[in-house]
Amino acid sequence: MATALTLDTLVSLLLAVALGAVVGIEREIAHRPAGLRTHMLVSLGSCLFTIVSIGFAMDPTRIASGIVAGIGFIGAGTIWAERDKVQGITTAASLWATAAIGLSAGIGDYPLAAVVTVLVVVILSSKYLLKRVGIEQ
């Protein structure tokens, strides 16, 4: 069996790690339970599953749906209830979005992966702006 590792797949994998790191750094700065390494691994894993699934004779969307379902279990592990509020939902959502970034890199849609990364970081960073204007606590 031939290897799936080509220059294109290597670029996809490295980009997935880099973009996952961008999201992960924001989560580290915010002192969240899933940080740099977790987001890098989620993006890398999603990218790799996508690359490998493209090589299968079957429908690659099955792998994509498996990624979405599987990441839900990891995300669920970051959510907990504390008194009258729930914590970790945003971190779970950032893991979910990071999986989508890795999937986008895996299919070779680098502009989409980069734009989504910027959007995710802007959304995550907006908490500080929203606190200043009194919209979020």
pLDDT recorded at residue 135: 76
* pLDDT score at 11: 97
What confidence tier does 124 reach under pLDDT thresholds 50, 70, 90?
very high
Whether the pTM exceeds 0.75: the reply is yes
Q: Looking at residue 1, what is its pLDDT?
A: 67
pLDDT of residue 10: 97
pLDDT digits (tens, 9 = 90+) for 34-86: 899 999 999 999 999 999 888 776 677 888 888 888 888 888 888 887 788 88
Cβ contact 99:46 at 8 Å: yes
Query: Per-residue DSSP letters for 85-134?
Result: EEESHHHHHHHHHHHHHHHHHHTT-HHHHHHHHHHHHHHHHHHHHHHHTT
